[in-house]
Amino acid sequence: MTKHPKIRFGAKPKTLKSYFTGLILSLLLTVAAFYIVMKHDMTPTATYLTLAGLAVAQLFAQVICFLRLNTTREGASNTLAFVFSLLVVAVLVVGSLWIMWNLNANMM
């Protein structure tokens, strides 16, 4: 009864509008990322942080507009798997870097 008629394979309907929105957002975020690096206006730390922010923003733009992940009942299991993967990826990457930097510092 609660089935959302338009959700197919756990994804929201793919429309021309969603694809164009995704394309334009991705273009803007990509151009911004290349621009700040080629312009060399910011301090390295500020550049790293901005680049990370732009990449994560583009991740969400494409996941929402292209893959059409959503929080409806039918799409929830896909989104839950995605969020869990983000968590594991964060533990893996941050944990590895933490260990290796500590190791590096202690070997000096």
In the complex, least distance from residue 107 CB atom to other proteins, rounded to whole angstroms: 13
- 15 lies in the site for other proteins, by CB under 8 A: yes
Question: Rounded distance, CA 102 to CA 4, Å?
Answer: 50
> Among positive and negative, which fits the CA dihedral 49, 89, 75, 25?
positive
- 6 lies in the site for other proteins, by CB under 8 A: no
Give me the half-sphere count of Cα atoms (radius 13 Å) on the Cβ side of residue 87. 6
Name which position in 2, 12, 70, 107 contacts other proteins (CB under 8 A).
2
Question: What amino acid is encoded at 44 in this protein?
Answer: P
The DSSP symbol for 7 reads -
Name which position in 41, 70, 71, 73 contacts other proteins (CB under 8 A).
73
Name which position in 6, 41, 87, 89 contacts other proteins (CB under 8 A).
89
Task: Give the residue from 59, 90, 57, 79 showing the smallest Cα distance to 7.
Answer: 79
Enumerate residues 6+ apart whose C-beta is below 8 A from 93: none
Residue numbers at the binding site for other proteins (CB under 8 A): 1-3, 5, 9-10, 14-16, 19, 22-23, 26-27, 30, 33-34, 37-38, 44, 47-48, 51-52, 54-55, 58-59, 62-63, 66-67, 73-74, 77-78, 81-82, 84-85, 88-89, 92-93, 96-97, 100
